[in-house]
Structure 1
C-alpha cells in the first residue's frame, strides 16, 4: 500500500509535466505559424497554410531554392527607432563586409520660420512604451507609418504585415490604444487603405496632421564594400570553432563542412570614416533689426522719409486731433449754455 500511494503523486506530476510541455510546444507552434502567415518572405506563408505533407514539402523546397539568405544591417543614432525594413542594408553570406559611415546633422528653425517639431505625439509614445527604457525621439517617417496603420485598422480590422513592428496604435475614434492583428499577406485591403491615405489630402489632414518635419535630423552616410571570405587559411580555425560550439551541425558535416562554412560565413566591420560631424544649421535670413533697417532704407531711398520724418508726422497728427477735440468741446459748451 505504501508503494502504491507513493507512486500516485509521481504519476500525477508526470502527467502535469507532459501537459505543460505540450502547451509550450503548441504555443511555440502557434507563434511560428503566425509569423510565417504574416511575414513578407515569399514561400513561408505557403508553408504555414499547407494542409497536407506533400504541399508543405513543395513550398519548403521552393523556399530553399528561390530564397536568398543573409543579414540586414542599419547604422542609426541611439535616439532613432531603427526602421530596418525601409532603410536596412542587405548583406550576402560568404563575404567580409565593411560599412564606413559619416555622421551628418541638420538643424531647422522652429516656428514661425518652419513647421518642424520635436514633440512626440501620444500615438507614437504608445508605441515607444513597448521598447523597454528606450529614449527614442520624434520621427516623421514613423509618424506617417502609424497614421497609415490607424486608417488601415479602421478600414480592414487589421494592419499591414509589412510594418509588423507598428502594431500598437492609438485609435482616436474610440480613444483607446489597441494591439492590432496583422493582415494576411495576400489580403488586398491593407494595400488599398494605405494607397487611399497617401493619395488623399483630406485623409492626410485627418489622420496625419501631427506629422511634421523633425527640427533635428541625424543621417549616416554609409559606404559599403565587401571581399570574398573566409580565406583558405582560416577554414581550419573556423571548423574547429564551430565543432566546439553549441551550433547544431548537419548530418553530412564531415563531408560538406567546407561548403557549409562558405555558405554561412558573414563578417561585418562597422568603421567610422571620420570623427568630424557635418552640421547644417538653418538660420533666419532676416531678423527684427534687419526688417526695421530695410523699411527705413527703402522709404528713405524712394520717398525721402526717415524715422525722424515719421515722428514729425505723428506729432502733426496728434496736434490735429487735439485741435479738433478742443473745437468740438468748445461747441458743446456753447450749446449747453
Structure 2
C-alpha cells in the first residue's frame, strides 16, 4: 500500500486538494532496540515453563523477539498559527496608504496650479513691461 500511495498521484491530486490542514498532530521519532527472545538470560526459565525441544527452540528463536520501545527525547515542540494582522489593522493600513496617496495627489495638484499661476504671472509681467516700453517710445 505504501508503494502504491507514494508512486501514484493520489496524495497530490486527492488528499492535498480535498483534505484541510490538520489542527493537531503528534509525530514521534522511532528509536528501537531488539534482541532475540531466547538467550542465555531467560533460557532456563523458558525450558522450565515450555519444555522446549531443539526444533521448537530454533523455531521460537526465529519467531520471538524482545522489543523495547523508548522515547527518543522527552521534549515537545508546539507550533501555533495566528494572523499577522487583524481586520482593524488591515483597515487602518489601507486607510493610511490611501491617505498618503491622496495627500501626494493633492500636493501635486497644488504644485501644478502654482506653476500655472507663476507662468501666467510671468506672461502678464512681460506683457506689461512690453506695453510700458511701447508706450514710452
TM-score by length of 1: 0.24
Q: Name the structure with the higher strand share.
A: 1
Q: Which structure has the larger Rg over C-alpha atoms? A: 2
Q: Name the structure with the higher helix share.
A: 2
